[in-house]
Structure 1
Amino acid sequence: MIPKLDEYKKRWQLPSDDVIKPGLQRMLQALQQLGQPQQSLQVIHFAGTNGKGSTLTFVEQMAREHGLTVGKFMSPCIVDVHDQIQMNGQPITQAQMDAGFKQMVTAGLQNLLTDFELLTCAALQHFHNEQVDLVLLEAGMGGREDSTNIVMPIVSVIPSIALEHTNFLGTTLAQIAAHKAGIIKQERPVVIGRLPKEAYEVVKAEAQHQNAPFFALGEAFEIDGTTYHHKARQLEIRNLQRRLLGTHQGENMAVAITSFLEAAATLSIAVDIAAIERAVYAAQVAGRFEQVLPHVYFDGAHNPASIAALVQTIQQQFPNEQVEIVLGMLADKDVAQAIQLLATVASKFIFVDFDNPRAMKATQMLEMQAGTIMTLPQAANYLKHDCKTKIVTGSLYLLSELRAL
């Protein structure tokens, strides 16, 4: 369910399927009918469990500080479908989306694609139309069979790997890593964060198979507090200040700097260290420990690994203080583990029902942990008028709906 996508599908009479169907054949056919817009694009491709959006945002800021026009495709949306396709930080307009849909109708894509595949095509067509200098492309799920995996990237980036989407990707870290590693391409550099050993070995083996230059955090490059160090380049950047908080965001920043350095080399861009420093400080992501009111923070953590990082950030930012947790989650996530982790920093739980067919009912969460149940309007009113520190988390869909209220 992608808000406002149906409006375009109806207006242009361009039906697509609202289910998940892994595989690339439909995308390959659609792009051939569109005239292969992806072939004109310089792409950095991102896959992984957590940290894709933050890492991508750091890279985006670096590229823009170096004067590049940057297109990005991310998911899910913050408010509606327009957020997911952006150029230089500005969402695609209705007129631009209509232009893309007109091209897709003319190309005969009716009843060929899923919703996410259709949106991927719209994004690639838009970036081609606008002739952007660099495209930052985030995989929707997995990597190898994800609709975005139809590009030849200049860099592939995998910030993290943890258990997720086990009904599609597999039940072990190695199986999931095999999907993520599918974005690695022949002789194109790959940059990774700190991966669990089981996942690391799979990704490294794929890089070797593809003869892809391999840059791993903790090996090729390091982050020590506010200092970044790239061993092969003998490059050190000190006193990096950022507004994306938490140790994990420092690691995402390091992965992003390395990714940008590799992209800059391919694009023959002279790297400006001062521009990297400015970009790191400027980077902000909606729904990543985002302060939306003086006492309210939104964080889209939705699996045990990202919830653990959120708990660590809460402990760093609010030492010796317990906060209220406003929680809504999709039922296919490890809800019990998420609640168990959050309970270590929570003075109170507020469980919220939100409008998504995959959402777990608040009553089911209440059976796992004592707390209070609220509707979305009740929760929005409570957030605005009660001044205790609150963290809203569990699902980006929940954050999107509360933001609108």
Structure 2
Amino acid sequence: MIPKFDEYKSRWEIRSDDSIKPGLASMYHALQLLDHPHKNLNVVHIAGTNGKGSTLAFLDSIARGHGLTVGKFMSPCIMDVHDQIQINGTPILESEMDEVFRKMKYAGLSGLLTDFELLTCAALLYFSTKNVDLVLIEAGMGGREDSTNVVVPIVSIIPSIALEHTKFLGPTLESIAYHKAGIIKDGKPVVVGRVPEEALVVVEKEAILNNASLLQLNRDFRVENSNNRDIYINVINNVVINDLKRSRLLGVHQGENMALAITAFYLVAEKLALVIDHSKVSQGVSSASLPGRFEQVLPNIYFDGAHNPASAEMLVKTIQQQFPNEKIRFVVGMLADKDIATVLRILETISDEFFFVDFENNRAMQANQVINVSNAKNKQVIRDVVPFLKNASQNNEKCIVTGSLYLLSEIRQKMLVK
């Protein structure tokens, strides 16, 4: 369920299905009815298990620093459906969304699509009418059969590959890599982050099949001194960018996401005939931000959407880096289709105090079920999370809220009204 999305569907009497239906046939049909709004967009397409949002945030900030008007389509929402579709960091307005839905209504899209397909059409239609310079699109699930894969990008980015959505993407790294690699298009370069060897083989094969050049982290470009909190040094195709400013996105892995974004921007700049200014790259790195990625929302209270084992491991490393030897409490809510047991085992390596909460999502596992998966010594279910977090903040208790980005969105909304 996407907050406020159903309001537009109801107002404009457009039906769509809330299920997941991989495949692109419905999208191509709908886009034909809309007169192909996606075809004239300059796109960077991002698919991967983790790192999509951070890489997009770095790329957005760097591109806007160079004077580009940048559209973003992201998943899931931060507050509601409007912030999934942005231009230069500003969510689509209600009046603009109404205009998009009006066009989709009279194009005959009702009953043809799933919710996410309909939202993808809305984003592409919006960006085409606003004549943006660059569009950054984050795949919803997988890549090859994701509704966003109708675009032909300037460059594709695959930050990471790990086990996820195995019901739809398959049970192995190779099968998941096959879906991620599906965003690689004929003759269009792909930038790849740190991925397991068995996944990389699949991505390389797809690149060869599509005659697409592949730029790989630590082979074709690298980031140095990423553990240093004050300075990054990035080397891309023998071009050295020194003295990159400290990023607001914390964690050792963010240096790699930054490197992916800068490398991709070099390819974007080449396509758009832009001159890269290293000072603007540095400023873009320092100003990039992303809600829900080790984000401090109150003193001592942090949100991080670690929803799979790979992201949980990164969260643990970041906590150890930022808060060495400090006591940590976790507030957790998770979707039932995630690897809950493994995520909890990872988080339990640095804490034995867990608080489990419910949130509104038809895929969510109930807190009184998640608690039974936990091996923590001190664990309980809490019903009213906002007073709990505010009290912990005032008492100087470090709390990390994690498990699902949908959970973070719901708590954020509750905090604004209480």
1:237 positional shift:
2.9
Distance 1:336 1:114 in 2: 30
Residue in 2 that maps onto 1:72: 72
Contact 1:47 1:142 in 2 (8 A): yes
Q: Which amino acid aligns with 2:369?
A: Q
Contact 1:322 1:347 in 2 (8 A): no
Q: Which amino acid aligns with 1:154?
A: I
Contact 1:327 1:352 in 2 (8 A): yes
1:393 partnered with 2:402:
yes
1:293 positional shift:
0.4
Give 3-state SS (helix, strand or coil) of 1:40's partner: coil
Give 3-state SS (helix, strand or coil) of 2:409's partner: helix
Residue in 2 that maps onto 1:205: 205
Give 3-state SS (helix, strand or coil) of 1:95's partner: helix
Give 3-state SS (helix, strand or coil) of 1:45's partner: strand
Distance 2:89 2:239 in 1: 32
The two structures, once aligned, show a CA RMSD in angstroms of 0.9
Residue in 2 that maps onto 1:141: 141
Contact 1:20 1:114 in 2 (8 A): yes
Q: Which amino acid aligns with 1:374?
A: I
Give 3-state SS (helix, strand or coil) of 1:38's partner: coil
1:95 partnered with 2:103:
no
Q: Which amino acid aligns with 1:184?
A: I
Residue in 2 that maps onto 1:222: 222
Q: Decide which of 386, 389, 393 is 1:383's aligned counterpart.
A: 389
Residue in 2 that maps onto 1:43: 43
Contact 2:241 2:278 in 1 (8 A): no
Give 3-state SS (helix, strand or coil) of 1:191's partner: strand
Distance 2:372 2:99 in 1: 49
Distance 1:57 1:189 in 2: 20
Contact 2:233 2:240 in 1 (8 A): no
Distance 1:367 1:188 in 2: 47
Q: Decide which of 283, 292, 299 is 2:288's aligned counterpart.
A: 283
Give 3-state SS (helix, strand or coil) of 1:281's partner: helix
Distance 2:148 2:244 in 1: 35
1:353 partnered with 2:361:
no
The verdict on how the C-alpha distance between 1:129 and 1:396 changes in structure 2, with shifts beyond 3 A counting, is: same
Residue in 2 that maps onto 1:178: 178
Distance 1:354 1:38 in 2: 35
Contact 1:71 1:87 in 2 (8 A): yes
1:356 positional shift:
1.0
Q: Which amino acid aligns with 2:257?
A: N
- 1:58-77 C-alpha deviation (Å, 9 max, x unpaired): 00001100000000000000
Unaligned runs of 5+ in 1: none
Give 3-state SS (helix, strand or coil) of 1:27's partner: helix
1:311 positional shift:
0.4
1:372 partnered with 2:380:
yes
Query: Identical aligned pairs, as a percentage?
Result: 58
1:236 positional shift:
3.5
Distance 2:241 2:289 in 1: 23
Contact 1:227 1:240 in 2 (8 A): no
- Normalised to the residue count of structure 2, the TM-score between the two structures is 0.95
Q: Which amino acid aligns with 1:48?
A: G
Q: How does 1:157-176 map to 2 (within 5 A)?
A: 157-176=157-176
After superposing on structure 2, the runs of 4+ consecutive aligned residues of structure 1 that deviate more than 4 Å are none
1:240 positional shift:
3.7
- 1:137-181 C-alpha deviation (Å, 9 max, x unpaired): 110000000000001100000000000000000000000000000
1:368 positional shift:
2.2
Q: Which moved more, 1:317-326 or 1:165-174?
A: 317-326
Distance 1:34 1:344 in 2: 51
1:233 positional shift:
4.0
Contact 1:299 1:391 in 2 (8 A): yes
Give 3-state SS (helix, strand or coil) of 1:61's partner: helix
Distance 1:155 1:69 in 2: 17
Contact 1:329 1:360 in 2 (8 A): yes
Q: Which amino acid aligns with 2:361?
A: N
Unaligned runs of 5+ in 2: 226-231
Distance 1:303 1:28 in 2: 31
1:118 positional shift:
0.2
Residue in 2 that maps onto 1:319: 324
1:208 positional shift:
1.2
Q: Which amino acid aligns with 1:118?
A: L
Contact 1:287 1:399 in 2 (8 A): yes
Contact 1:155 1:259 in 2 (8 A): yes
1:320 positional shift:
1.1
Contact 1:192 1:217 in 2 (8 A): yes
Distance 1:112 1:207 in 2: 32
Residue in 1 that maps onto 2:188: 188
- 1:84-134 C-alpha deviation (Å, 9 max, x unpaired): 000000000000001101111111111000000000000000000100000
